Each structure stands twice: as structure tokens, then as C-alpha cells.
A and B are shown apart, each in its own frame.
Chain A
Amino acid sequence: MPKLNLEAVGTAYEHTVSSLRMRIIICAGTGCLAGGSLNIFHAFKAEAKKHGVPLHVELKPEDKPALLLSKSGCQGFCQVGPLVTIEPAGILYTKVTAEDVPEIFETTILSGKIVERLLYVNPGDGKRCSGPSDIPFYVRQSRSVLASCGLIDPENIREYIYGGGYRAAMEAYTAHTPEELCTIFTDSGLRGRGGGGFPSGKKWALTLRQQADKKYLICNGDEGDPGAFMDRSILEGNPHSVVEGMMIAARAIGAEAGYVYVRAEYPLAVERIRKAIDEARDLGLLGEDLFGTGAHFDIKVMEGAGAFVCGEASAMVASIMGGRGMPRPKPPRTAEKGLWDKPTVVNNVETLATVPLVLRKGSKSYRTVGTSGSPGTKTFALTGHVANTGLIEVPFGTTLREIIFEIGGGVLDEKGNVDNDAFKAVQIGGPSGGCLTRDHLDIPLDFDSLGEIGAMVGSGGLVVMNRSTCMVQVARFFMQFTQAESCGKCVPCREGTRQMLDLLDDIIEGRADESTIPLLESLCRTVARGSLCGLGKAAPSPVLSTLRHFRQEYESHVVDKRCPVGACQALSDFVIDGLLCRGCTACVKACPVGAIAGEKKAPHVIDTERCIRCGACMATCRFGAIRRGGAA
């Protein structure tokens, strides 16, 4: 294989890029695809043909000056998708449909003007924003791992190389020894983004020290956390950054084989990472004799089959070897004894995508962002009752207040309007994490500060909840998840989570007594202490953290038999609002047990003794006069 010249590939691509007049980027992340972004793509092609304007969908060196139409990965702002970006003007159109394309083409592409009605309107001040440079959602972020996601074409390796890609990998193979790499990454302070935040350089150094004929590197793209999708977005939007990160990590530990373990629920991510690996192999970036150094490294893709516990390193190893994905007791760590009993490093997708950036910037410069214990940036999936949902990236140390109220645009109330007083809690770290309250809004988010208050960064799911959310139900939701996903190997997790779920059901359904909460707490301690793997150990976290911060809410379920927010069916009564009720008798007819009485055209009343709380009346009422009240 002739030595690959990255400069030449980059320069050739630059030549074609510089001849471009304009670039139309259609977001083809999962969210926008669901909104019909492929139709928009085809509509642009048709429109260009109609106007006789030359338009390319893939850049080749011989191309003449023209327009480029390309698909990108997730641009992060999923809620207002499908998104269309026009570069170099920096215009972002939101909620675009194929019908809008002729107007965009004539107004923006041909005449250079803006289609005002497709711009994002900031709900706070009603101002129209022309693009990422003035949309608060983007302005407050600091995108480095996600910087290219949503801009570059993930299916074109030349574009990644043109942007400086694979130079860090080349440096790793040609200018550093594995020991030097481990030192650089230890110095950089890079911590694993998958959950606990173990220092990546230390993990590599531990593996490098092992004596073995073979070593393996696994990229963990399992992402089983409900409410997190950064791995998906990186694999879909910039898969080459993961391939390059894997090459560097492989060099640092001396691995010749790597696996990408991706959830089968993410078909597009699987397709794009496969394509990226094939493209890299075709250019000689993967395979034998990398950069003429004699080193080899190649990557296989393995699709997961839907098991949360497979995100745990030893379980993932078992799954790749074709067994049930069950964890085993440690030590030995997977770094000592992993895949086929060989030393194995498991790094998360986001960690690996960060690796080339660290090497490009240098470890000292990398440390200038973030906090001293947690350098760099972190992606969060911001979802729930918040105005702007989507994927964001901020430096470690950013506060929840900035994330929720500035980037997220504020909290939504029950009716979907922005009302910051409606904020109740934010759940962080998925089923292993905890809830934070108003008191935590100003704590800088990083691995250490979150650990201190009983939460964790986890994979980075941030679910904002407003006052209509019942915290016992939130705890139950996560317990149901862990209970269903427990691999069943160890008793504390298998049986403990099941009993915890039953106790939470008792609380929600009104069967709890004064012994329930102490019993639940004691079970939490047992499961946390006795479980085999990290996932079992962390399973009680959502219960413990809601108990800590919202104990009163639990107590009113147990003692007063009352759900304060009126969310638990068994512990809330239906109430008719006398002012709204027109006395139409529709609810009287709908009630299966005859619990509603009243004269025609006069406000009706519900007999709470007889009511079975089925909700049929509320569904029938056309005037919104019936609601669930917390009173029992």
C-alpha cells in the first residue's frame, strides 16, 4: 500500500470546495428524517434542474463551480426540524417542508435574500433569528465534539480529511510511542464520557502494561439510557471522528482489532459507521501497515440486540463473544482480562470522538476548558418540559440554570407555555442517576460535584420536569426500567429491584403504610451494596435521590393517601369546576358507575366515594371542566 498522503487528499478536496458558490445542507439526523427531510433533499434536486442550475450531491475533484447539496447528521435542534442550512451565508431554516423548497430556491439561492417566515423565532422576545450565530440555543453552547455534526457530510471521508481529519491519528502512529500517548491523555485529564468518568489515559496505561499476544479495543455505542442520544448523533453525524479516536486509542494500548458495539435500534448509526470504516479501509487508513509504520488495526461492527446491561464492560465483552450479556465479578478488570481473556479497553463513543481533539489541541490547551477535575466539554440530551429540546454541548462546570433557562429557553408548564416558575426537578444520568432540584440550579455540573449530591453525569441525559410531574412516579419509571433490564445473574439486583418496584406500586396505589418507606430505604442500601455490577449498584439511585429531595411527596402518598400533583390515579379525585361546567350531562352518561349527579344546565358534582377514577368523564367533557385534583 503506497503511503497515504492526507495533505494531497485534503488539498484536492479544498480545490473543489473553493469553487463552490453555495452549500445547501439538509439535516438527515433521525429527527429530521422523521419529519421528511429526504423529500426536501429531492425537492432541491428537482428545483435546480428546473432552473438549469448545476448542483452536485457529492463533490468530485473534477467538478466545476456550482451548488452543493449535502445531507448532514443531527444538527441538534431536533424540535424545530426539519432543518435546512445555507452556507456560507449561515442561514438556518426551521420546520421546512418540500413545498417550501421552490421559494427557498428562488429567494435565497438565486437572489440571495432570506425567507423570513422560515426563520426561527425566539419564544422569549419574539425576535427572528437568521442562523446559529443569533439563535440562543446555539450561541450559549460550546460545540467541539459536535462541531462538525450537522455541517459535514458524514458519508464523505474526503470532507473529514479536508477539515483536518486523521492528522491526529497519523501523529499518533508516526510521532508518538504508545507510552507517550498514555501520558499525553493522562495529563489531559480526559475522563470517560459513558458514565462514571474514569480517566481514559489511566485505563489505557493499565492495558498497555499487560503482557499479551493480542489486545482489543471496543467502542461502546450501546447507549441504553432512556433519554440520551449523543452517541447516536455522533455516529450519525461524524462517524470518522470515532474511527480516528479508535485508531489513536488502539495505538496507545497496542490493539490490532477493534469493535464498535452499536444498538440495533439505531439503524442509521450502524449504516454510517459501517460506511465510514469501509471508506477508511479503502484509503488505507485501516488495515495493514498504517502510515507506513508496519502497525495494523482494523474495526468490525457488532449490532447489539437490546439489553441495557450490555453497556457494562464485562457484559459487553460476553455479548460480543456470542453469549448472554451478563457481567462478571471484578477483578480482574476487562483491561486485564476482557474479550477472549485478552486485555480489552472499552471506551464510549463520545470519549473516542473527543480523543482526536485532545491530540490536536495538546493536553495543556485541552485543560483550559471545563473544570480542573473534569476538563473539556460534555454533550447533554436536553429533553422533557423545556422549550428547546435537543442535543447540546457545554463546557464542564456550566450550571443547570444556564442550560435550562438560557440554552433550553425555559421550562414549559402543563399547557406548554414557557413559565419558569413551573420548574420542579431535572433528572440527570438516566436509571443510574438522580434528580436535582431548584437548590441545585447553580452548582457547576461536573463528575465530582454531581457525585457529591448523589447524582451522576452518566451518559448525559437531562430530563426537565415541571410541577405536574409526580416524583414517586418518576422513581417508579426508572425502577420498572432497571427491573425489566436486570440480567438476573445476582440476587440483590434481580429480586431487590423487583421488590422495590412492588413497594413503589404500593405507594402509588394507596396500599402503603408506615413501614413501606423504611423498608424501601433498607432495600435500596442492600441492592446498592450487594449487586454485582455498576448498573445494579446504581439501580436504587433514582429512588434514593427522589426520597432525599422530595420526601414530603412520598409521605403524602403514604400517610394522607394523596398525590400532591394529582398524577397518581388511585390517589387523586376528579373534580368538576363549577365555573366551567355547563351542565350538558355528557359526563353523567359517560360515567360507568353513576357517580356524577346534577341538574341540566347547572354545575354537576362527582360523588368521590362511588367514583372509580377511570377518567371517562374527563375525556368526555368538552369544556375542560373536569380535572384531577390532589385531594383525597
Chain B
Amino acid sequence: MNTLTGDRTEAASFGVVCRILDFYDRDPGMIIPILQKVQEEYRYLPEEVLLFLATSLEISPARLYGIATFYSHFSLEPKGKHVIKVCDGTACHVKGSGALIETLRSMLALEKGVKTTSDMLFTLETVSCLGACGLAPVVVIDDTVHGQMTPDKVRVLITKIREEEDAEA
């Protein structure tokens, strides 16, 4: 999985991208699912892949860029190894998601406007609603949902991931 991440020489061969394109019959109407699959592969949308897609689908790079930037799911920047999503829906907001975001920003030492840590280990995102309002406030780390979170619980989770990463390294 994700063996292509960051490897430009291999990325340039676009083998995976071609398979994705073929799966969708190179149909320009399928741009969104195609971009989703490409992003699953690279964890973001690299510029050279976007250009390759635009040429293959015979649409202008400007149009493709417009679509890729319109939807919040698409990222034009590489994401960290662990993606942390803090839900900031109404229920989570009322129950204190703001404090969770503050805690995470300071723990991960993220400057204003920066989402990914410099060691590429964590990316912090907020999402508008995960539909698990009964568990508010909710934090999702790498697709695992953690409900009824507090700044303390978040701290424990992040520390644990860091320790595991250190042990591996």
C-alpha cells in the first residue's frame, strides 16, 4: 500500500493511475471517483499526476484544478502518516471540540495555517460532521473513531502513537 508515496521516479510511470483510468473507461464524467482513487493511492494529489490525468481525460488542467480544490476531500499537499480528524459539527462544537483542537495544535506544535507536522507524522484536520453526534466530541485517528473525547484522552492517544513510532524507528 502507498508504495508510490514520495517516489517521483516510480510515480512518473503512472502505472497505477492508468489502471484507475481504465477502470472508469477514461470517462471525464467520473473525474471525482477517479481523483478519490488516485488520492487513496498517493494520499494526496501530486501535481504531475493531475497534469497526466487532465491530458488523459482531455480536459484542461485548469478545470481539473478547479475540481480538485473545490472539494474538501482532495488535498494538493502530502499528508502525514497519521491523519487526525476533529469533528467540529454543532454537537461536537457545543461539547468542546475547540479545546481538543487547541490541545492538538499545541501538542503537535502546529503554527497557524499549518496542518502537517514537519516530520510528516501527523496531519490535523477539522471536519464539519461525522454523523456520530451521540458520541460528541469525536476525534478520528486513521479511520478509528474515538468518542466522548477530552483534552486528556487526546493527549494519551497521541503520546501512544508517538511511542509506537519511536519504538519502530
A264 & B128 in contact (Cβ 8 Å cutoff) = no
B67 & A383 in contact (Cβ 8 Å cutoff) = no
B90 & A322 in contact (Cβ 8 Å cutoff) = no
Residue A35 lies at the interface, judged by CB distance under 8 Å to chain B: yes
CA distance A346 to B71 in the complex (A): 21
B67 & A324 in contact (Cβ 8 Å cutoff) = yes
| Chain B residues, Cβ within 8 Å of A303 | 32-33, 36
Known contacts A225-B129, A227-B89, A389-B91; A306/B73 CB under 8 A: yes
Residue B35 lies at the interface, judged by CB distance under 8 Å to chain A: yes
Known contacts A31-B132, A78-B135, A383-B133; A477/B93 CB under 8 A: yes
A227 & B129 in contact (Cβ 8 Å cutoff) = yes
Known contacts A224-B129, A323-B67, A324-B70; A383/B134 CB under 8 A: yes
In chain B, positions 20-66 with a C-beta closer than 8 Å to chain A are: 27-33, 35-36, 66
| Chain B residues, Cβ within 8 Å of A389 | 91, 133-134, 136
| Chain B residues, Cβ within 8 Å of A324 | 66-67, 70
CA distance A602 to B11 in the complex (A): 67
- Name the one of A34, A320, A469 contacting B132, with C-beta atoms under 8 angstroms: A34
A487 & B70 in contact (Cβ 8 Å cutoff) = yes
CB A276 to nearest CB in B, in angstroms, measures 18
Residue B157 lies at the interface, judged by CB distance under 8 Å to chain A: no
CA distance A469 to B90 in the complex (A): 12
| Chain A residues, Cβ within 8 Å of B128 | 224, 226, 308, 481, 485
CA distance A208 to B168 in the complex (A): 62
Residue B78 lies at the interface, judged by CB distance under 8 Å to chain A: no
CA distance A303 to B39 in the complex (A): 14
Known contacts A34-B145, A305-B72; A319/B32 CB under 8 A: yes
Contact with A along B77-121 (1 / 0, CB 8 A): 000000000001111011100000000000000000000000000
CA distance A302 to B32 in the complex (A): 9
In chain A, positions 576-619 with a C-beta closer than 8 Å to chain B are: none
CB A138 to nearest CB in B, in angstroms, measures 14
CA distance A403 to B73 in the complex (A): 35
Residue A463 lies at the interface, judged by CB distance under 8 Å to chain B: yes
CA distance A437 to B88 in the complex (A): 23
CA distance A389 to B92 in the complex (A): 12
Known contacts A307-B71, A324-B70; A229/B94 CB under 8 A: no
In chain A, positions 490-535 with a C-beta closer than 8 Å to chain B are: none
| Chain B residues, Cβ within 8 Å of A302 | 32-33
- Name the one of A266, A307, A308, A390 contacting B134, with C-beta atoms under 8 angstroms: A390
CA distance A492 to B162 in the complex (A): 46
A229 & B133 in contact (Cβ 8 Å cutoff) = yes
In chain A, positions 466-497 with a C-beta closer than 8 Å to chain B are: 469, 477-478, 481, 485, 487
Residue A465 lies at the interface, judged by CB distance under 8 Å to chain B: yes
- Name the one of A78, A264, A384, A481 contacting B94, with C-beta atoms under 8 angstroms: A384
Residue A272 lies at the interface, judged by CB distance under 8 Å to chain B: no
Known contacts A227-B91, A303-B33, A477-B90; A34/B135 CB under 8 A: yes
| Chain B residues, Cβ within 8 Å of A224 | 128-129
Known contacts A31-B147, A306-B71, A306-B72; A265/B131 CB under 8 A: yes
CA distance A155 to B45 in the complex (A): 34
> In the complex, what residue of chain A is closest to B70 when comparing beta carbons?
A324
Residue B130 lies at the interface, judged by CB distance under 8 Å to chain A: yes
Known contacts A322-B32, A381-B133, A477-B93; A265/B127 CB under 8 A: yes
Residues on B facing A (Cβ under 8 Å): 27-33, 35-36, 66-67, 70-74, 88-91, 93-95, 127-136, 138, 143-147
A-B contact pairs, 29 of them (CB 8 A): A34-B145, A34-B147, A78-B132, A78-B133, A79-B135, A223-B131, A227-B91, A227-B133, A228-B133, A233-B131, A263-B131, A303-B33, A305-B71, A306-B71, A306-B72, A306-B73, A306-B127, A322-B30, A324-B67, A324-B70, A325-B71, A384-B90, A385-B94, A389-B91, A389-B134, A391-B134, A430-B90, A469-B94, A477-B93
9 closest Cβ contacts across the A-B interface?
A: A78-B134, A226-B89, A229-B131, A305-B71, A383-B91, A34-B145, A227-B90, A306-B72, A226-B129
